[in-house]
Amino acid sequence: MKTHKVKFLPHDEEIVVPDGENLIRAAMEAGVHVNASCGGEGLCGKCRVLIESGRVEGGTSPLLDREDFDRGYRLACRSLVKSDLLVRIPPDSEIDAGVLDRYTVPRKAAPVQQMDFDELKSKGLFIPPVEKKYIELPQPSVMDNLADSSRVIGFLKLRYGEHRLVFWLAVLRRLPDALRAGDFKVTVTLARPVFKGRKSHIINVEPGDTTDRNFALAVDIGTTTVYGQLINLNTGEILAEYGDFNAQISYGEDVISRIMFAEKPGGLDKLHKALARTINGIIRTLIKKSHIGRDEISTITLAGNTTMSQILIKANPRYIRRAPYVPVTTLYPPIRAIDLDLHLAPHANALLYPSVSSFVGGDIVAGVMGSGIYRSDQLSLYIDIGTNAEIVIGNRDWLACAACSAGPAFEGGGITSGMRAAEGAIEDFSVHPKTLEPMNITIGNVRPRGICGSGLINIVACMFEEGIIDNLGKFNRDLKSDRIRERDGECEYVLARKEVTQGERDIVITEADIDNLIRAKGAIYSGCQTLLDEVGLSITDLDRIILAGGFGSHVDIEKAMTIGLLPEIDPDKVTYIGNGSLLGARMSSLTNRIRKDVVEVLKKITNFELSETPSYMNNYVAALFLPHTNLDLFPRLKARLKAANAAADHLAGC
Amino acid sequence: MKTHKVKFLPHDEEIVVPDGENLIRAAMEAGVHVNASCGGEGLCGKCRVLIESGRVEGGTSPLLDREDFDRGYRLACRSLVKSDLLVRIPPDSEIDAGVLDRYTVPRKAAPVQQMDFDELKSKGLFIPPVEKKYIELPQPSVMDNLADSSRVIGFLKLRYGEHRLVFWLAVLRRLPDALRAGDFKVTVTLARPVFKGRKSHIINVEPGDTTDRNFALAVDIGTTTVYGQLINLNTGEILAEYGDFNAQISYGEDVISRIMFAEKPGGLDKLHKALARTINGIIRTLIKKSHIGRDEISTITLAGNTTMSQILIKANPRYIRRAPYVPVTTLYPPIRAIDLDLHLAPHANALLYPSVSSFVGGDIVAGVMGSGIYRSDQLSLYIDIGTNAEIVIGNRDWLACAACSAGPAFEGGGITSGMRAAEGAIEDFSVHPKTLEPMNITIGNVRPRGICGSGLINIVACMFEEGIIDNLGKFNRDLKSDRIRERDGECEYVLARKEVTQGERDIVITEADIDNLIRAKGAIYSGCQTLLDEVGLSITDLDRIILAGGFGSHVDIEKAMTIGLLPEIDPDKVTYIGNGSLLGARMSSLTNRIRKDVVEVLKKITNFELSETPSYMNNYVAALFLPHTNLDLFPRLKARLKAANAAADHLAGC
């Protein structure tokens, strides 16, 4: 078989592939990440790479400029390797691992709500799902030669009043040797039922006293990134945390393209394996970082959106994306970690966070648990903004949820110069009111590469307040500046000319980009409004807003209110929760009380399919303005605009 | 690597092995069975093979005659392959598949107790552990887009009052496609709990109505042979049955040698794999014979002795054979068939029959269930005779059990001309009172090859009643016959001179052989007596005897009583149950009532370690006579002997 060497720059990774191999597949194999938001169909044009030497077949698409083509650029997903290659991944086609750290630490100084172990304990919420007991058993003799399992169970019954104990097969296999290695002094690991009266499972028996070694994993499975924490179950302490890109990213950037890939022959299996590989890599790192043994981990709690969860259990996600949007399940049965192809001991059990519906998944349920809104009297809005924005509104008595299809604008998708929140992304912006010259602040303070989602909000909010764009998002054609230019009847503003960027194109924001943003924010705002309408409340009744997720951690709350993405409330009542999914997963791994509550929350929560909710379309149309048709919903902004107008009138009058 | 071809005759099987490979290992690989009762240590001398051409290294042992050695015989287990070989397996080193059929059909015409499906039904004992329900679900719509699992569970709850339903992971994986393939008309398979109020598991969902296709497997795992039955769960009918040798046989003939093998590095894994291979082969044949799909089998019930069960679940059996003889468990948790490496669908569950102790295993518990002695008012003796004889005595109120180490005599082991019950085995015998010439009847009516266990009993009983041997098993030295000869002070009787046999040696019975038999039968008789002593009863209180197992099916009851193997009771009260283990396994697979009763039986049964029971040794010593020290325990025999003596006196007086 003919093969070729492909070398990727600037990574300096080399791989040998068969003749005719797809170039994006080769990149994946080499461990080089290339954006491919459309799942490799040549539709998004994000996977531009520069062929520095060698020959590929194909690689063109209407999305690739003639100019780029002539300079040697190709779309990796449409290119077949036909010779040895030297391929350079331009910065804008590459995913930057810098994003990972950003996701963990909120940028803004708003209060972060975190529930800690001591708080759990003090509230009587600490009921560990996995417990270790050290026991010293009587030695067997010919007059007392009970089976090993009966000896252990009988002792636990007699001494600790334990009932309904069941051995796992994996433990039985090791039991005779473990008992004798410990001279019948052993530590038994019990997995506790969530509900009283159910069985406790004996999931491990170890020689000697190992009660101080009891660990759990909590994992948030995001579409883009996966985060894990290793937790000491005796102290609640996080011993290590680590995040990595979801290796599925090579098969498509968002859940829909993943589902489409899963529908191809063998696709589901590939996606499952990629995810398992990612999680296993994280497990490996966490174990290494915290110097514990792999077998000392007895439980792993995973939270992810419905598609990620279904891919993890290898259930076809096909019907998630098709009306009437049916997931396979909401509650997952108890699963052994090894049955999910996770590299843990055979006795380790895996708990998957339940989901509400196809688009409100386990990550959101985990966030609800982590944020505690289901235990609060306050009317809270919990919101996780991404390609889909999931919204939960409610309090201790009721909960309603919905998913809004916001589109990829907040992640830089569908935006001319859009990019993920990584080094070089413009994240803050202001404009000189007279010269209209910009001030761009980038992540990492380097030359700009593009605009990230939070940057986009800041730019549009600023331009709106400065009157550069109107409440429809259209540029004021009267303004004179070489920053503003027109192409095919559409205006755009040049934030950075290509000479000052890391790339080879001007960084611009166009009216189409602004329109994308308005539709995205309109979908979310009207989603919140619709949920409240349905329960007879109004957006002004909200007591607090909890922002979850990577994007939520970095959004400027005031600016988000200015464009009408968030309802306008006192900014002090807005909280960043960070990775709510990971927080909820960790809490569930620490206490059965939360696991029990989850079941109650699931019963309590009402899912709305917004597309089927009549009021949604009206609310949506009303929200397609900056900030909204009804400016009275944004009284503080209204006051500011009024003051600005007065000042402008005053100046004009001078 | 140097390799050699080894061809086995008369099988005509050829295999390529590396230089220096052990010859018995090569035979196993080639699928050629060679007796190796000692597990390949060169200690039993049973694996004599004739090297017709080529060269082996080693292969000698004190157990191989000089004469045999000169003729080219070697012990396979001690021979290393050093060139291409032509190896002939002499009939006496080979296991004959003919034995398999014999095990299934009792030879004698005593009544066979079998409980059938109609009887179960009529007694209200039919509570199927696996049930299929055909349901027509409402189609999902956007206004009713419940998760697939919730749709199924909700419908079963509403329509059938089903509660506590849990999906298996394997079913969830297939659920979305199964529902839609059947247009939401599907058949759900429910695995029922043994105890009320516990969970029912949804183990399968199939498109369409498949309620008439619901099958189970019952398997008896013997040390030597494994039998399986395929059962229609709707009718109780046995659709197919099949038996095969336990492939572990190549690693040792009895449980002790298997345990010793399991203690070697990698040994347990090899034994487990050999057993799984055997069961999988049986499953394959049963499926083929009955024209059903592998996935239509939803449950498999397995019964085996404690060692076989532990090897099946891959739990080290090391402590079974060492004082104080502790098994890993008595009750096995629910197990998925695939976790035992059985080739069944992922949803198929495996039920292992619980055991009482290290030497009273699941096969015996299954026999107790199958025979129904635990439900009877009568005082029954249930006995399964093999290398170990397991005894259960009791009635509906109490049960006591013990295992006696009878030694291999009943399976032809340790007997000069002993062999298994296969073609050519002398199974019936009489002797001319004057000439002392024998009349041998062999299985299959062919030239004799040796003496099987039941033949041995018949020979000794006959010789004893004819006065050829005395009640100590010693030959009457006064008798003159060239059939009786003395070697090293020990007498032996020649049943067949080598010219008339299939082999190359005279077939004889020696005083040492008879002594072996007396010790074997003494162990069993005194075991029964000891159990009865311990509960304050006597052997004469027994109402009936149930003989189980291959050997039990072929023993001549009268003769067994003559030598004192069985207590003397009315022969009409002796029943053959055949393969009690298989019967019990089948009954458990048909009804949860039996599975529930098993738990009660386990609580009720008392295990006696005979070696630790003081009265046992006295009873044993008293039983080392033909039939027993106390002839009054055998009144009918006593009367016969008296009559014979009177006749002899009369003749002498003539």
pLDDT (0 to 100) of residue B581 = 94
- CA distance to partner chain A, nearest, from residue B512 (Å): 32
Question: Between A511-534 and A453-465, two packed helices, what is the crossing angle to 10 degrees?
Answer: 100
- CA distance to partner chain B, nearest, from residue A383 (Å): 23
In sequence order, the 6+-apart residues with CB closer than 8 A to the CB of A648 are: A467
Of A140, A314, A326, the CB nearest to B140: A326
Give me the amino acid identity at B292: I
The length of chain A is 654
DSSP state of B372: T
What span, in angstroms and rounded, lies between the C-alpha atoms of A343 and A137? 32
User: What beta strand segments (E) does A192-281 contain?
Assistant: 200-207, 215-221, 225-232, 238-245
Separation in Å, CA B133 to CA A157, A451, B295, B502: 39, 57, 17, 59
How many C-alpha atoms does A624 have within 13 Å on its Cβ side? 9
Query: Which residues in chain B land under pLDDT 70?
Result: 28-29, 31, 33, 35-44, 46, 92-117, 651-654
What span, in angstroms and rounded, lies between the C-alpha atoms of A185 and A209? 7
Partner residues linked to A578 by β-bridges: A548
What span, in angstroms and rounded, lies between the C-alpha atoms of B59 and B560? 39
Q: Within A51-196, where are the H helices?
A: 66-70, 98-104, 117-122, 148-160, 169-181
Considering only residues B128 and A522, tell me which one the structure prediction assigns the higher pLDDT.
A522
User: What number does CATH give the domain A127-207?
Assistant: 3.10.20.880
Instruction: Note which residues in 277-296 of chain B have CB less than 8 A from chain A.
Output: none
Domain A215-352 has CATH 3.90.1150.10: no
Secondary structure (3-state) at B431: strand
Nearest CA in chain A to B330: A147
Tokens read off for A545: 């807003």
Separation in Å, CA A51 to CA A77, A256, A435: 13, 30, 41
Instruction: Note which residues in 592-611 of chain B have CB less than 8 A from chain A.
Output: 609, 611
What single string gives the DSSP state of each residue in B518-548?
Answer: HHHHHHHHHHHHHHHHHTT--GGG--EEEEE
Nearest CA in chain B to A171: B315
- CA distance to partner chain A, nearest, from residue B243 (Å): 27
Instruction: Tell whether B148 is within 8 A of chain A (Cβ).
Output: yes
Q: Which residue of A198, A326, A602 is the best one to mutate when testing the B interface, meaning the one whose CB has the most B CBs within 10 A?
A: A326
What span, in angstroms and rounded, lies between the C-alpha atoms of B215 and B208? 17
What's the farthest any 2 CA atoms get from each other in chain B?
A: 109
Residue pair A119/A236 in contact by the 8 Å Cβ criterion:
no
Nearest CA in chain B to A336: B169
What's the farthest any 2 CA atoms get from each other in chain A?
A: 109
Cβ separation B323–A142 shorter than 8 A = yes
Of A177, A180, A335, the CB nearest to B169: A335
Cβ separation A333–B166 shorter than 8 A = yes
What are B501-556's pLDDT values in tens digits? 888 889 999 999 999 999 999 999 999 999 999 999 998 899 999 999 878 878 88
Cβ separation B329–A147 shorter than 8 A = yes
Question: Between A306-313 and A267-290, two packed helices, what is the crossing angle to 10 degrees?
Answer: 90
Residue pair A39/A252 in contact by the 8 Å Cβ criterion:
yes
Residue pair B426/B565 in contact by the 8 Å Cβ criterion:
no
Instruction: Tell whether A144 is within 8 A of chain B (Cβ).
Output: yes
**Chain CA centroid to CA B253, Å:** 12
Short-list B223, B69, B227, CA closest to B586: B227
What span, in angstroms and rounded, lies between the C-alpha atoms of A126 and B1? 62
- CA distance to partner chain A, nearest, from residue B140 (Å): 7
Q: Is the pLDDT of residue A443 over 90?
A: no
Give the number of beta-carbon pairs within 8 Å between A and B: 133
Q: Which residues of B111-129 are buried (b: 16+ CB within 10 A; e: fewer)?
A: eebebebeebeeeebbbbb
Q: What is the mean pLDDT of chain A?
A: 89
Give me the amino acid identity at A61: S
Give me the amino acid identity at B331: L
Q: Long-range contacts for B462-470 (Cβ within 8 Å, ≥24 apart)?
A: B462/B429, B462/B430, B462/B431, B462/B559, B463/B431, B463/B493, B464/B562, B464/B563, B464/B626, B465/B562, B465/B640, B465/B641, B465/B644, B466/B431, B466/B433, B467/B644, B467/B648, B468/B431, B468/B436, B468/B493, B469/B514, B469/B626, B470/B626
What are A550-580's pLDDT values in tens digits? 788 788 899 999 999 999 999 889 988 889 9
Secondary element (H or E) of residue B170:
helix B169-181
Question: Within 10 Å of residue B181's Cβ, how many Cβ atoms?
Answer: 14
Can you give the residue ranges of every domain in chain A?
Answer: 3-94, 103-124+358-417+468-476+503-654, 127-207, 215-352
Instruction: Tell whether A612 is within 8 A of chain B (Cβ).
Output: yes
Q: Which residues of B474-506 are buried (b: 16+ CB within 10 A; e: fewer)?
A: ebeeeeebebbeeeeeebbbbbbeeeebbbebb
What span, in angstroms and rounded, lies between the C-alpha atoms of A42 and A412? 18
Short-list B272, B318, B253, CA closest to B24: B253
What span, in angstroms and rounded, lies between the C-alpha atoms of A131 and A128? 6
Nearest CA in chain B to A350: B169
Instruction: Tell whether B319 is within 8 A of chain A (Cβ).
Output: yes
Secondary structure (3-state) at B92: helix
Please return the burial class of A66, using the count of CB atoms within 10 Å of its CB with bins 0-12, 13-18 and 19+: exposed
Nearest CA in chain B to A310: B173
- Which value, in Å, is the radius of gyration of the alpha carbons in chain B? 27
Question: Between A453-465 and A635-653, two packed helices, what is the crossing angle to 10 degrees?
Answer: 50
Instruction: Note which residues in 342-401 of chain A have CB less than 8 A from chain B.
Output: 355, 357-358
What are A73-131's pLDDT values in tens digits? 998 878 899 999 999 988 766 555 555 554 444 444 344 555 566 777 787 778 888 99
Of A143, A172, A313, the CB nearest to B328: A172
Is there a cis peptide before residue B333, judged by omega within 30 degrees of 0? no
Of B144, B172, B324, the CB nearest to A328: B172
pLDDT (0 to 100) of residue A95 = 54
DSSP state of B218: E
What span, in angstroms and rounded, lies between the C-alpha atoms of B33 and B24? 9
Partner residues linked to B226 by β-bridges: B221, B244
What span, in angstroms and rounded, lies between the C-alpha atoms of B268 and B258? 9
Cβ separation B331–A149 shorter than 8 A = yes
Instruction: Tell whether A138 is within 8 A of chain B (Cβ).
Output: no
pLDDT (0 to 100) of residue A632 = 94
Query: What percent of chain A lies above the pLDDT cut of 70?
Result: 93
Of B143, B167, B331, the CB nearest to A333: B167
Cβ separation A149–B176 shorter than 8 A = no
Cβ separation B149–A329 shorter than 8 A = yes
Cβ separation B172–A315 shorter than 8 A = yes
Of B144, B315, B609, the CB nearest to A175: B315
Residue pair B578/B104 in contact by the 8 Å Cβ criterion:
yes
Residue pair A80/A56 in contact by the 8 Å Cβ criterion:
yes
Tokens read off for B602: 């386990």
Cβ separation A323–B358 shorter than 8 A = no
Place of tokens 């998002």: A473
Of B140, B150, B323, the CB nearest to A324: B140
Tokens read off for A347: 């006795």
How many C-alpha atoms does A577 have within 13 Å on its Cβ side? 30
Cβ separation A333–B168 shorter than 8 A = yes
In sequence order, the 6+-apart residues with CB closer than 8 A to the CB of B106 are: B112, B553, B554, B576, B578
Of A173, A316, A609, the CB nearest to B314: A173
Secondary structure (3-state) at B220: strand
Residue pair A59/A45 in contact by the 8 Å Cβ criterion:
no
pLDDT (0 to 100) of residue A568 = 94
ipTM computed for the complex: 0.82
- Strand A388-394 and strand B185-191: the pairing is unpaired
> Which chain B residues have a beta carbon less than 8 Å from that of A183?
none
The domain made up of A3-94 has a fold known as Ubiquitin-like (UB roll) (3.10.20)
Secondary structure (3-state) at A546: strand
- CA distance to partner chain A, nearest, from residue B318 (Å): 8
Please return the burial class of A215, using the count of CB atoms within 10 Å of its CB with bins 0-12, 13-18 and 19+: buried
User: What beta strand segments (E) does A354-489 contain?
Assistant: 380-385, 388-394, 399-405, 425-431, 438-442, 450-451, 484-487
Cβ separation B141–A324 shorter than 8 A = yes
Instruction: Note which residues in 464-523 of chain A have CB less than 8 A from chain B.
Output: none
* Equal fold, A3-94 vs A215-352: no
Q: Residue B439 — φ and ψ, nearest 5°? A: -125, 110
State if pTM tops 0.90: no
Instruction: Note which residues in 179-218 of chain B have CB less than 8 A from chain A.
Output: 180
Residue pair A53/A86 in contact by the 8 Å Cβ criterion:
yes
What span, in angstroms and rounded, lies between the C-alpha atoms of B201 and B131? 10
Of B141, B315, B357, the CB nearest to A176: B315
